[in-house]
Amino acid sequence: MKIAPISRELRRRNIPTRLIHTGQHFDANMSDVFFRDLGMPAPDVMLGAGGGTQAQQTAAVLVGIEAALESSRPALLVVVGDVTSTLASALAAAKLGVPVAHVEAGLRSRDWTMPEEINRVLADRLSDLLLTPSPDARENLLGEGIAAERIVFVGNVMIDSLHYAVARPTDVLARLQLRPQAYAVATIHRPSSVDTPATLRATLDALAAVSARIPLVFPVHPRTLARLGEFGLASHAHTISGLRLIEPLGYNDFVTLFSRARLVVTDSGGIQEETTALGIPCFTMRDSTERPITVTEGTNIVVGTDRERIARVLDEILAGKCKKGRVPEGWDGHAAPRIVDALERFCAGTPKPLRSGSP
């Protein structure tokens, strides 16, 4: 979702580009359908680095990206977000002297138990150009000693993809026999939410606190599905009153689904942003967020898995007392042109690469 608008803008300007798919997300429902829905070209390189532990994925991406970069020697490698592939790709490029631009730089949760926090902090340290989605990200980077000339505020490119999908609604509500505003949507997949029996059961209990008050549609991420089976909790999940487990959805289907929901429950950073952009109430089932602007300016409420708090705040929302957020600066659907402007300036020499000998 973050690469697609950038890819379209690069193609529009006829800038030579190679697209590398690491394969970290290898399930067809979480990969192929997104390429189709977002109008992306087929990848030029497929690494097939999915599966295994985070260390195994990191190693596979490192080896694959190194080979891809050595064969093409690009002027710049663009990485996005905070997944394992982000850090591994940035590290491979830095070792080869290939400059790195990090889209969505500077976000911080301050929670070092999250793999994503490790990924984003280290990727930022390796990057020559840091492209930020919100003002707090710039302050975080300056506080960590990143030179101001390397930081460029571009806005939130996720919202570019959101606008793209909103303009292409699907018939998913009819297929699922849902009425607008008569249901909530859940997305849960982060390791901190699902990777131990205790945390997964707590997450299910928190979802039950929601589904007891409003029907809750839950497209189950492959990671979450695997953990439900591994921990013997699949039957329990299917017996929770009001909770409807369904297969993962394509991006356009999912945007249509949640954009018409009364509430979204998530542990995803991107969905915190998308709900804020659309003015939809959002519960974040984590104890912190690396996107505080969605709380201070948007519709997001960090509730963790506290069932009593969830029930109390949800009752307020269902009574029409939810807080009214606003769309943050730069979340206007035009971040990709600003990103490519910054990439072109960097390739023209502003700012200079960090590592001497870079191509």
The 10s digit of each residue's pLDDT in 229-244 is: 999 999 999 999 999 9
Predicted pLDDT at 224: 96
Q: What is the DSSP letter of 43?
A: P
Coil/strand/helix, residue 207: helix
* pLDDT exceeds 70 at position 356: no
Range 114-140 average pLDDT? 97
* pLDDT exceeds 80 at position 332: yes
Could you tell me the pLDDT band of residue 323, with boundaries at 50, 70 and 90? Answer: confident
Distances (CA, A) of 91 to 43, 56, 81, 133, 234: 21, 15, 14, 22, 38
Contact 315, 263 (CB under 8 A): no
Report the distance separating Cα 323 and Cα 313, nearest Å: 10
Residue in 21, 102, 189, 221 annotated catalytic: 189
pTM of the model: 0.92
Domains of the chain and CATH, by start: 3-155+332-347 (3.40.50.2000), 167-318 (3.40.50.2000)
Range 204-215 average pLDDT? 97
Predicted pLDDT at 34: 85
Range 125-141 average pLDDT? 97
Report the distance separating Cα 21 and Cα 357, nearest Å: 26
What is the DSSP annotation of 135-171? HHHHHHHHHTT--GGGEEE---HHHHHHHHHHTS--S
In this structure, which amino acid lies at residue 25? H
Report the distance separating Cα 355 and Cα 183, nearest Å: 52
Q: What is the pLDDT of residues 249-308, one digit of tens each?
A: 999 999 999 999 999 999 999 999 999 999 999 999 999 999 999 999 999 999 999 999
* pLDDT exceeds 70 at position 47: yes
Residue 189 designated active-site: yes
Distances (CA, A) of 10 to 3, 43, 164, 331: 10, 14, 16, 20
Predicted pLDDT at 67: 96
Predicted pLDDT at 25: 62
Burial of residue 181 (CB within 10 Å: 0-12, 13-18, 19+) is exposed
Predicted pLDDT at 298: 97
Q: Which helix or strand (DSSP H or E) is residue 284 part of?
A: strand 282-284
Report the distance separating Cα 106 and Cα 154, nearest Å: 12
